[in-house]
Amino acid sequence: MNYQKAEKIYKALANRRRLAIIYCLSKEDKITVSDISEKIKLSLASTSKHLQILKGASLVENEQVNIEQYYYLINKNNSFIKQALSIE
* Residuewise pLDDT in 10s, the chain (88 residues): 689 988 999 999 999 999 999 999 999 999 999 999 999 999 999 999 999 999 999 999 999 999 999 999 998 888 888 888 887 6
21 and 47 Cβ atoms separated by less than 8 Å: yes
Provide the whole-model pTM: 0.90
Report the CATH fold assignment for 3-86.
Answer: Arc Repressor Mutant, subunit A (1.10.10)
What residue ranges do the domains of the chain occupy?
A: 3-86
How many CB atoms neighbour CB 60 within 10 A?
A: 23
pLDDT for res 82: 87
CA torsion 44→49→50→53, rounded to 10°? 160
pLDDT for res 88: 60
pLDDT for res 78: 85
β partners of residue 62:
71
